[in-house]
Structure formats: C-alpha cells, structure tokens
C-alpha cells in the first residue's frame, strides 16, 4: 500500500465552510422564491380516527387562500416515504392523504395561501368531523390486537417481508445458525435479559423544508433538504402517479439529517400545490411538526438468551426483537435486521445464533432511518449482555470480549445470512483493529479490572464501563454511487456527484479523492451535488455509504479521467497512450520529453484542435461487493450521585478503526458528533407519550438534546488501519460513533451501583429508583421491568 | 405596522404584524443569515445582537426592536471570518446551520470576557456562556478547540 498521499489523509477545511459560517443563503428555505405560496398542513388531533367529513367552505372564503386539498383531492396510491433502493423493503402502506388518520400529527389537509398567517387562519376554519377510534399505543400488545391500524385493502409489500397488516405486523424475520437449544443446555451459564430503547428524535437543526415549481417545460422542480434526491424523485413520482421524467429534484445545502431526511415528508404536499395552482409553493416545518410528524428511531424491546462457559467461551445467543414502527412501516424490516446483522458478527465464534421477531404497527408517529439504524439498539442489548455474562463468570469484561470477538482475516456466518431486507453477502474481514482499539482505549481511560468503581466522596461514586461496536460501509450489491469528471478550460475539473453532503463534509472528501487520483490540487476540483437533472445517479447519503461507495466511484472516475487525458494527448501527438505520462501538471512523451500541460491541453481540446476538439470527461459507478465494517471501542468514565441519581459523564474515550481517514478532522468530528447523539440517547433524550398517544416531548424545551455543558472530556483516536477495498484504504465513519454510549454508560452505571439498567435513557429519576430498589446484599443484577417472554 | 431600527448599522423600516417574532420579520426582509430551528428560544440558532447583546430573535417581538440596533452575522463579516477560519480549520461547522448564531454569541462572549479581563481561555466559562447555542452535528468538541486556539491567537 502506498501511503505517501498529497491530498487525502489531510485535514483540509470543508470547501463550503466559510460561506456556511457566515450565514450565506444556502439552505432550502433560504432559497425559496419570495412569491411562492406558503403551504401549511392541517394535522390530526387524534391518534386514530376516521374522517367522516371535511368542510372547507369557510376556509376557502378567506382572501389569499389559493387551494385546500383533502384526501378526496389527491391520488390514492399506496407508497412508502422511506428513501431506499428499488423495490423498497418497506411496505407501501401510506397515502398522501387518507380518510383515516393514524397518529397525532398525521396529515388531514394541505392548505396553500399567500402568506403564513392566512394559511394558518384557513386551517383554523376547516371543519373536520372525526369518528374517534380506540388507538393502539402499547407495542408489546400490538400483535393480534382487536385494534387494526391498517384495515385498508390496497396496501402491500414489494417482496415478501413478513407483512401481515391484519395482525398489525409490518414485517417479521427469523434466522437460525447451529442448534441454539442444544448450545444453551450445554452452557455452564445461561442468562436471559430484556432491554428497551426509546423513540429518539433526530433533531437535525434545519427543520424539513421544500419548495416546488413548474419550469418552462411544465416539469415539476422540487428543491428539498433531502438526503437522497434520486430516491425522492422516484418515490415522489410513484406517489403522485406521474412519470419520473417529469420530475427534477435539487438538493441545496442541508442543515443536518442523521437519517431524518431520508424520506419524503414534505415533498408531496408542495408538489400537489404547484400542480394544482401552477404556482411555486414552499413548506418549512415547525420544530413541533418535526417532533410530532416526521420520524423517530424505532423503539425496541430486545430479549437475549445467552449461554457461555465459565472459561470465558461464549457459546450461543438467541435474540428476539420487537420493534415499534408506529403508524407506517418505513424501514421496518431493515432497521430490525441491522439490530442483528451489525452487532452479532462482533462475536463470530458462537456455535449457535438465533435472531428473529416482528416489527409492529401502533398509533404513534412513524419510526424511520436514524444514524445507527438498529445497530445502536442491538448494541445496547448485546454489549449490556456481554457485561452481564462477564460478571456472572467473574471475568473482566474486556477479557471476555477479547476471547470471543472477531479479528482481522476472519468472517461471520451472519454476514451471508443477514442483509438489509434480504440475504447478505459473504465477507472476510480484511481490516479489523478492534484489538488495538481496545488496548489503546483502556490505556487512555485508565482501565483497572480490580477497580471499575470507586468512591470519591460520601455518596459520590465514579466508575468505568465499556463497549465495542461495528457498523457497515454502505449496503453491498444494493447501494450504488456514480461520479462524472469533466476537464474545463483553464485546466480544472468539474466533479459532479449524486452523493449528498448533509454537512458531514462529503463533498470535500470526494474532491480530495479526485484530486489525489488525478495528481492535481484540491482547488482544481469543483464539486456539484446534487441535482437529479445534472448529477449522475447515487443512492444518497445513508447507511454509512458516502466515503466508501461514492468515494470508490469518484476514485474510479478519476483514474478513468487520467486515461482519457493521456489518450487525448497521445492522439494529438500521434503516440501510443502507453508512451505518455501525466504528473498532474504536465504530459511527457518518450524519454521524458515534455509534450504539453493540463492548462494548454484544456484550451486546445476545447478551442484549438479543430477536428480533434472534444469534451474530455469520464463517468464511473461503484457498488460494493461487500461492506467492510468500521469498528470501535468506547469507554465511559461516569460519576453517580447516589443521593439524586444524577449520572455525570466525565470522560468518553473512543478509539476507532475506519481505515484511512480521508480527512482526519472531518472523521474526528463525525465520531464526536455521533458519540454525543449516543450519549444523548443514553442520558438525556427522554421520550414521553401521553395516554392518548400525544407526544409530550415535542419541543426543545421538553426534549433535551445534550448541550455543550452536559458532557466532560471526549477523546477520539483512530487506530492505524487500511481497508484494501476502500478508496485509499478508507471505510465509513458516519454512524460508528453513535453505537457504544448506551451500553458503555449502562455498564459503567452497573459497575457504580450494582444495578443493570435495561432501558434507555438513564435519567436521574430512573437511576435514583434503581439505587433505592437495589438490595445492597447480593450483587446479582436485576431488571427494572418485569420479565414476560417474547414469542420465538 | 412599521418597525424602524437599524440592521447592520443601516437604518431600515420593516413591515411587521403585532405579535410577530423578530426572527420571522428579519427573514421575510431577506436577512436569511438568521436561521430558525426551534421557535422556543432553546437552540440559539436565530441569535442576533440587539444593542450588542445576543438574544434569540425567535422569542422576542419584532416591535421590541423599535429604535434599536440589530446586528446579524453579516454585520460582523470581518470578525466572523476571523473566528470562522478557526472553526473551519477544525471542520467543526459541519452542516453550518447553527454557525451564524453560534459565531455571533461567541463574538459577544469574547467582548465580555475581555471586558472582564480574562487572561487564559476559560473553557468552562465559555461552555457556560455558549450553552444556549445547540449543535446536533459536531459534538461541540471542535467548537471548543477552535475557540481556544482563536482566543490564544488574539489574547494570548
């Protein structure tokens, strides 16, 4: 491997940094035309109801109201809002508007007016008569409940996913490797635990926004804060019943996504208004709407039965999962599968593994894609369980992991059996420095297995806890990215990609990869992304795919561009291409004779070379034959106040193997940001639903994302690692940071107070209750929730 | 009604409704650098300086700005660029949506800390001052590294 890089593996500033910092108009709502109609939505006040009638007459009489659309005015085509490959693994169980509303915040009517105040006034004047239905709010009671969330007949899956809406099941799955029962009965120690995770909110700082207009050709142009313009175009065309060719989707800068903008939440509404009124239409959700009416993380219950021997050999795990997808089944099966497929391969030496369960409908707002995508839920359960077993067999939790975890050169049967919504692919791990991540992490945190907790003053206990994690790098043989390079007069290149920079800096690292491969400076690569009319296809930013999938596409494109340049020079000088060399600036012929340079070539090929004139460009695509996982070890140092139950995170150490860091600063920030979201899920982000299904934590006053005062020191390091299949040795880094905090902090809390907390988040009330209930006599852990068994 | 004030030292007359938030009036008047994210005064993204004091413009009535001096990030271009270069060097702006509010608050903080005679950069004090400026991308660590380097370069 050649590691003498000039542009990659360098911490360049993001190419858009200064413009964004100065607040230049760059985001969707900054760019919406001033004369666009303002679109607002009338939303359901009931968790489950049938619309008996809608009277729009008074609202339509308000001056400045352009149109009001209800379920009778819009196409009745079942579709999914989930931005995924085609055919989507999510059921088509949703209509743009329906005569049923299935959660508080579900859309009832679309109102477009000259200004916001008029739109709001019109909304207040729409008279809706509802038949209020009994909602289904307890996901543990969803299967075969008398309340059926989706009784309608038109909805369907795109391929078998275990879809049984009559039983409130959006998807189900089961797999077995080896003889689970036999291995359980042969194990020295068998433990069974249940874990629960909450419906975390994404809270991307920019609320969802879009605007639509009809262009001079009558095509519908949508500008949207979307993570996946091409999926948006396809899903939108399908939901509206119009040809894909009549749509163009443009993504400007995006104010954060984290999976929350991987869906079509707002686009259909502005599209319908633009089509109905032939005018531009804009929408920007309020924060309350983002909380109540977009998506959350899938709430899960994860039951694990595990068997191990006293010598530290982990024999078997049987995992049963119940996932709450809310009112609609976006990402139902795939998130559910990732909870197993991106956790269980960590311990690849088990003789038997079982994984299965169901994803159920309830009358809560829908769950969807969210950074970690099931892996954080699965990791919390798995890595809490690993500590439980280690304590049971009196082994240091690190030693127990090291004896059982995956190593470089190894594989896991799970890779082949479990993909995302279908089978996976076989994969031998070519880069895995988990061992070094753990060794360095324990050094940084000062891990001492004889002293995992200690009292610093009366009633104040400090403790360490840890967890390891893996993620993926795109979805193998499903995700595809493309890039186009074109030489411009002056000797620089346009780089057009369909990849979508959510703020991560992916445009910058793609430019770095192109510059490195071409041998030019990063300033000579100008990135344009992403616009379905002008960018080559890319599935978009999700599943930790951009660096690996789109990055590999850019690398292939740039290497092809080198060839195109050399061939053009060879043709011009009547040489064989193999006789021409290019060093990024100049072209040399036989015996090192200087032929021309890139700047001259760029003018010659566009203006001077008469019959030889042409555009020099290259396009290439990449799809991964595998998805090499990044790995990390996370270590928490906490302080628990035994009198109040408050847990302070003093330090968090993360040592990450993401292969080569294309831009070390941006990789580090990805990890730091991911960690804080994971820490938020572990300690702060409590989700409360009222007993009629109302989301009570529906504002930033009530839903606490971590502030900069809420955490102590965060230390991130990268293990030296090189992934042979990645661009310049890179794997992904977007999600891996979020996975470990819930388990590492839960393990630290256990070490501090001797109680296993099975449910996130660990807010002071929960911890205090656990301390009170803890019988200080025996040190056996106990769950806070009563144990009832999930069906196999 | 008409609101008379200055924005970035320029006298302006802005149309507004009674009860309208200052952030909405400013954005409608084209000051798109004022971002909106929570509407409840929790996140700090819509921060502007009102007579030099950072305030959440989503949570004050536009009418309260009558006769006063409003500064957005565009009014402190040079300062924002200087601090911005440190943030960019860390990659800490990430999506950038919270940056204008954060940078304005950080510049106000610098002025206050200087007035208090702060010598070495006090990270805890800075974290406290800036606690109302939320960011969901960066994890804040890069912000703080940038601020420390910026402070040390200018006040060290």
Does the pLDDT of residue A173 top 50, yes or no?
A: yes
Would residue A705 be called left, alpha or beta, if left means φ above 0 and alpha means ψ between -120 and 50 degrees?
A: beta
pLDDT of residue A787: 43
* B91/A705 touch (CB, cutoff 8 Å), yes or no: no
Whether residues B55 and B91 fall in one domain: no
User: By the CB < 8 Å criterion, does B29 face chain A?
Assistant: no
pLDDT 10s digits, A319-371: 999 999 999 999 999 999 999 999 999 999 999 999 999 999 999 999 999 99
Q: Which of B42, B89, B95 sits opposite A255 (nearest CB)?
A: B95
Under an 8 A CB cutoff, do A23 and B98 touch?
Answer: no
Task: Spell out the residues 6+ positions from residue A19 whose beta carbon is closer than 8 angstroms to its own.
Answer: A26, B96
Mean pLDDT of A59-80: 98
Show the tokens assigned to A567: 């061939």
According to the model, what pLDDT value does residue A422 have?
85
Residue-level pLDDT at A782: 41
- Contact criterion met (CB < 8 Å) for A705 and B88: no
> Which residues of chain A neighbour B17 with C-beta distances below 8 Å?
117
Spell out which residues of chain A touch residue B46, defining contact as CB-CB under 8 Å.
Answer: none
CB contact under 8 A, A665 and B142: yes
From A159, A190, A207, A165, select the one nearest A305 (Cα to Cα).
A190
| Structural domains in chain A, sorted by start | 17-23+480-622 (3.30.365.10), 32-133+205-256+261-293 (3.90.1170.50), 299-475+626-773 (3.30.365.10)
Task: State the count of interchain CB pairs (< 8 A) between A and B.
Answer: 178
Kindly state the DSSP code that residue B104 receives in the 8-state scheme. H
Instruction: Pick B38's closest partner by Cβ from A665, A669, A699.
Output: A699
Tokens found for residue B77: 């271009």
Q: What confidence score (pLDDT) does residue A46 get?
A: 98
Task: Give the separation between CA B22 and CA B48, rounded to whole angstroms.
Answer: 10
Q: Which CATH number goes with the domain that contains B112? A: 1.10.150.120
pLDDT category of residue B155 using cuts at 50, 70 and 90: confident
In three-state secondary structure terms, A55 is strand
Residue B68 shares a structural domain with residue B81: no
User: What are the pLDDT digits (tens) for B129-152?
Assistant: 999 999 999 999 999 999 999 999
Chain A residues close to B33, C-beta within 8 Å: 22-25
Closest CA relative to residue B65, chosen from B55, B73, B80 = B55
First to last CA, chain B: 48
Cβ separation A22–B133 shorter than 8 A: no
Closest alpha carbon to A222 in A174, A283, A172, A164? A283
d(CA B118, nearest CA chain A) in Å: 20
Residues 6+ apart with CB under 8 A from A451: none
Tell me which chain B residues have a C-beta less than 8 angstroms from the C-beta of A668. Answer: 91, 142
3-state secondary structure A319-367: EEEEEEEECCCCCHHHHHHHHHHCCHHHCCCCCEEEEEEEEEECCCCCE
Residues B146 and B80 in one domain: yes
Both B39 and B109 in one domain: the answer is no
Q: What is the mean pLDDT of chain A?
A: 96
Same domain membership, residue B143 and residue B125: yes
Tell me the C-alpha distance between A196 and B57, whole Å: 39
**Residues A512-534, mean pLDDT to the nearest whole number:** 97
Rg (CA), chain A: 27
Compute the average pLDDT of residues B50-79: 97
Interface test mutation site (partner B, options A14, A23, A261, A700, max chain B beta carbons within 10 A): A23
Q: Which residue has the tokens 């988990």?
A: A434
Q: Which backbone phi and psi does B142 adopt, to 5 degrees?
A: -65, -40
Q: How big is chain B, counted in residues?
A: 156
Listed residue (A785, A729, A790, A722) closest to A756, CA to CA: A785
> Tokens at residue A778, please?
């025996």
Q: For residue range A639-697, list pLDDT tens digits in order.
A: 999 999 999 999 999 999 999 999 999 999 999 999 999 999 999 999 999 999 999 99
| A-chain residues near B37 (CB < 8 A) | 205-207, 255, 287, 700
pLDDT score for A103: 98
pLDDT surpassing 90 at residue A704: yes
Subunit contact A504:B100, Cβ cutoff 8 A: no
User: Does the CA dihedral A694-A700-A702-A707 come out positive or negative?
Assistant: positive
Domain end position, chosen among B27, B59, B74? B74
Q: B61 and B83: one domain?
A: no
Domain's final residue, options B46, B74, B102: B74
Is it the case that residue A784 has pLDDT exceeding 60?
A: no
- Segment A580-618, tens digit of pLDDT: 999 999 999 999 999 999 999 999 999 999 999 999 999
pLDDT digits (tens, 9 = 90+) for B6-16: 999 999 999 99
Distance in angstroms (rounded) separating the CA atoms of residues A254 and A31: 12
Q: Under DSSP, is residue A631 helix (H, G, I), strand (E, B) or coil?
A: strand
Share of chain B above pLDDT 70, in %: 99
CB A503 to CB B39 under 8 A? no
B126 plus B144 within the same structural domain? yes
Which phi and psi angles does A565 have, rounded to 5°? -65, -45
Q: What is the per-residue pLDDT across A212-247, written as a single tens digit (0 to 9) for each?
A: 999 999 999 999 999 999 999 999 999 999 999 999
- Which of A23, A30, A13, A16 lies closest to B77 in space, CA to CA? A23
Q: How many domains does chain B have?
A: 2
Is residue A83 within 8 A of residue A263, CB to CB? The reply is yes
Q: Is the pLDDT of residue A779 over 90?
A: no
Q: Does the pTM of the predicted model rise above 0.95?
A: yes
Indicate which CATH number applies to the domain containing B70.
Answer: 3.10.20.30
What are the tokens at A456?
């610093």
Cα–Cα distances (Å) from A522 to A343, A485, A515, A598, A612, in that order, read 37, 14, 5, 15, 29
Give B105-130 pLDDT, tens digit per residue: 999 999 999 999 999 999 999 999 99
- Asked if residues A30 and A256 have their Cβ atoms less than 8 Å apart, the reply is no
Joined together, the tokens standing for residue A311 give 């010598």
Q: Is B48 on the interface with A (CB under 8 A)?
A: no
- Distance in angstroms (rounded) separating the CA atoms of residues A251 and A232: 10
Q: What is the pLDDT of residue A729?
A: 98
Note whether B38 and B93 are same-domain residues: no
Helix (H) or strand (E) run with residue B154 in it = helix B141-155
Reply yes or no: is the peptide bond before residue A761 cis, omega within 30 of 0. Answer: yes
Residue A2 has pLDDT above 80, yes or no: no
What is the domain extent for residue B14?
A: 2-74
Are residues B139 and A666, on separate chains, in Cβ contact within 8 Å?
Answer: no
pLDDT of residue A785: 42
Cα distance between residue A83 and residue A34, in whole Å: 29
Asked if pLDDT for residue A4 goes beyond 90, the answer is: no
- Tell me if residue A388 falls in helix, strand or coil: helix
User: Using 50, 70 and 90 to split pLDDT, how confident is the model at A436?
Assistant: very high
Residues B150 and B95 in one domain: yes
**Domain ends where: B74, B99, B125?**
B74
In terms of domains, do B82 and B146 share one? yes
Cβ distance A203 to B136 less than 8 Å, yes or no, reads yes
pLDDT at residue B1 is higher than 50: yes
- pLDDT for A783 equals 39
What does DSSP assign to residue B76? Answer: G
pLDDT tens track for A301-321? 999 999 999 999 999 999 999
Strands (E), A102-207: 107-113, 127-132, 169-177, 189-197
Distance to chain A for B101, nearest Cα, Å: 9
On the 0-12 / 13-18 / 19+ scale of CB atoms within 10 A, A109 is buried
A665 CB neighbours in chain B (<8 A) are 89-91, 142
- pLDDT over 70, % of chain A: 97
Cβ of B96 and A21 within 8 Å? yes
Distance from CA of B5 to the nearest CA of A (A): 21
Same domain, B18 and B44: yes
Q: Does A781 have pLDDT greater than 80?
A: no
pLDDT at A102 over 80: yes
Mean pLDDT confidence for A459-477 = 96
The torsion angles phi and psi of A335, rounded to 5 degrees, stand at -60, -40
Nearest to A727 by CA among A622, A607, A602: A622
Q: What distance in Å separates the CA atoms of residue A355 and residue A332, rounded to the nearest whole number?
A: 16
Q: What is the DSSP letter of A201?
A: B
Average pLDDT rounded to a whole number, residues A747-758: 97
Q: Is the dihedral of CA A744, A745, A749, A752 positive or negative?
A: positive
Give the mean model confidence (pLDDT) for residues A478-503. 97
Does residue A417 sit in helix, strand or coil?
A: helix
Interface-testing mutation among B81, B89, B139, with chain A (most A C-beta atoms within 10 A): B139
Select the residue from A10, A22, A209 to test the B interface by mutation, using most B Cβ atoms within 10 A.
A22
Contact list, B34 vs chain A (CB under 8 Å)? 23
Q: Are residues B9 and B67 in the same domain?
A: yes
Cross-chain residue pair A287–B39, CB shorter than 8 Å: yes
Nearest to A501 by CA among B12, B25, B151, B137: B137
* Partner A contacted by B142 (CB < 8 A): yes
Give the span between the Cα atoms of A431 and A633, in whole angstroms: 15
Residue A790: pLDDT band with limits 50, 70, 90: low
The rounded distance, in Å, linking the Cα atoms of A188 and A355 is: 22
Query: How many other C-beta atoms are found inside a 10 Å radius of the C-beta of residue A394?
Result: 9
What tens digit of pLDDT does each residue of A405-419 get? 999 999 999 999 998
């Amino acid at each position: 491997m050649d590691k003498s890089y000039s542009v990659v593996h360098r911490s360049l500033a993001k190419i858009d940094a200064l413009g964004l910092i100065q607040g230049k108009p760059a985001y969707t709502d900054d760019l919406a035309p001033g004369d666009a109609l303002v679109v607002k939505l009338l939303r359901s006040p009931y968790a489950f109801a049938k619309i008996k009638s809608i009277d729009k007459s008074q609202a339509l009489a308000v001056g400045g109201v352009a149109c009001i659309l209800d379920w009778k005015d819009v196409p009745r085509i079942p579709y999914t809002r989930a931005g995924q490959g085609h055919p989507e693994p999510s059921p088509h169980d949703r209509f743009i508007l329906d005569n049923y509303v299935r959660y508080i915040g579900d859309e009832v009517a679309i109102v477009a007016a000259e200004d916001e105040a008029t739109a709001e006034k019109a909304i207040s004047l729409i008279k809706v008569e509802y038949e209020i239905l009994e909602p289904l709010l307890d996901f543990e009671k969803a299967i075969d409940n008398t309340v059926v969330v989706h009784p309608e007949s038109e909805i369907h899956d795109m391929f078998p996913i275990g879809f049984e809406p009559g039983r409130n099941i959006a998807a189900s799955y089961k797999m077995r490797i080896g003889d689970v029962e036999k291995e359980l009965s042969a194990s020295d120690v068998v433990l069974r635990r249940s874990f629960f995770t909450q419906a975390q909110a994404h809270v991307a700082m920019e609320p969802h926004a879009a605007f639509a207009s009809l262009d001079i050709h009558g095509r519908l142009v949508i500008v949207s804060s979307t993570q996946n313009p091409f999926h948006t175009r396809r899903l939108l065309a399908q939901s509206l019943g119009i040809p894909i060719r009549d749509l163009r989707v443009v993504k400007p800068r995006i104010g954060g996504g984290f999976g929350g903008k991987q869906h079509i939440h707002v686009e259909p509404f502005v599209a319908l208004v633009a089509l109905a009124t032939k005018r531009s239409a804009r929408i920007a959700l309020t924060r309350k709407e983002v909380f109540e009416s977009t998506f959350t993380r899938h709430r899960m219950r994860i039951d694990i039965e595990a068997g191990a021997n006293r010598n530290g050999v982990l024999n078997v795990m049987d995992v049963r999962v119940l996932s709450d997808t809310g009112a609609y089944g976006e990402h139902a099966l795939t998130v559910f599968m990732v909870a197993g497929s991106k956790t269980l391969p960590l311990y690849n030496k088990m003789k038997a593994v079982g994984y299965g369960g169901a994803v159920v409908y309830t009358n809560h707002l829908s769950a969807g894609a969210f950074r970690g995508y099931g892996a954080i839920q699965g990791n919390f359960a798995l890595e809490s369980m690993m500590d439980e077993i280690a304590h049971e067999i009196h082994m240091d939790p690190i030693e127990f992991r090291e004896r059982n975890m995956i190593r470089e050169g190894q594989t896991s049967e799970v890779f082949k059996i479990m993909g995302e919504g279908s089978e996976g692919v076989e994969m031998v791990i070519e880069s895995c420095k988990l061992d070094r991540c753990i060794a360095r992490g324990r050094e940084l945190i000062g891990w001492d297995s004889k002293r995992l907790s200690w009292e610093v003053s009366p009633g104040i206990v400090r403790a360490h806890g840890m967890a390891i994690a893996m993620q993926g790098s795109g979805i193998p043989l499903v995700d595809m990215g493309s890039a186009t390079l074109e030489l411009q007069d002056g000797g620089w290149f346009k780089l057009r990609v369909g990849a979508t920079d959510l703020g991560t800096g992916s445009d910058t690292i793609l430019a770095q990869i192109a510059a490195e491969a071409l041998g030019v400076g990063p300033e000579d690569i100008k990135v344009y992304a992403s616009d379905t009319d002008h960018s080559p296809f890319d599935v978009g930013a999700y599943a930790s795919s951009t660096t690996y999938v789109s990055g590999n596409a850019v690398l292939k494109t740039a290497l092809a561009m080198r060839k195109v340049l050399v061939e053009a020079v060879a043709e011009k000088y009547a040489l064989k291409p193999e006789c021409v060399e290019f060093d990024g600036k100049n072209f040399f012929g036989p015996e090192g004779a200087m032929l021309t340079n890139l700047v001259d070539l760029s003018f010659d090929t566009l203006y001077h070379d008469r019959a030889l004139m042409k555009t020099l460009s290259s396009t290439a695509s990449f799809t991964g034959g595998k998805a090499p996982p990044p790995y990390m070890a996370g270590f928490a140092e906490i302080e628990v106040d035994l009198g109040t139950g408050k847990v302070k995170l003093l330090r968090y150490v993360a040592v990450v193997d993401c292969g080569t860091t294309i831009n070390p600063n941006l990789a580090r920030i990805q990890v730091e940001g991911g960690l804080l979201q994971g820490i938020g899920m572990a300690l702060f982000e409590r989700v409360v639903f009222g007993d009629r299904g109302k989301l009570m934590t529906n504002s930033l006053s009530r839903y606490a994302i971590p502030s900069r005062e809420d955490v102590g020191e965060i230390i991130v390091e990268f293990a030296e690692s090189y992934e042979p299949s990645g661009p310049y040795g890179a794997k992904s880094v977007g999600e891996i940071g979020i996975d470990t905090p819930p388990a590492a902090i839960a393990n630290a809390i256990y070490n501090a107070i001797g109680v296993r907390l099975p449910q996130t988040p660990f807010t002071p009330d929960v911890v205090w209750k656990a301390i009170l209930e803890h019988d200080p006599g025996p040190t056996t852990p106990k769950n806070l929730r009563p144990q009832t068994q999930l069906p196999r | 009604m008409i609101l008379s004030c200055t924005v970035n030292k320029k006298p302006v007359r802005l149309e507004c409704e009674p009860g309208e938030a200052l952030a909405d009036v400013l954005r409608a008047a084209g000051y798109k650098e004022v971002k909106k994210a929570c509407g409840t005064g929790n996140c700090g993204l819509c921060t502007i300086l009102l007579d030099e004091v950072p305030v959440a413009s989503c949570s004050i009535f536009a009418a309260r700005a009558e006769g006063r001096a409003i500064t957005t990030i565009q009014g402190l271009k040079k300062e924002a660029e200087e601090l911005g270069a440190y943030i960019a060097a860390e990659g800490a702006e990430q999506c950038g949506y919270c940056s204008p509010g954060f940078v304005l608050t950080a510049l106000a903080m610098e002025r206050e800390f200087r007035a208090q005679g702060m010598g070495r950069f006090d990270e805890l004090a800075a974290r406290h001052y800036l606690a109302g400026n939320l960011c969901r991308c960066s994890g804040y660590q890069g912000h703080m590294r940038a601020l420390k380097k910026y402070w040390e370069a200018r006040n060290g």
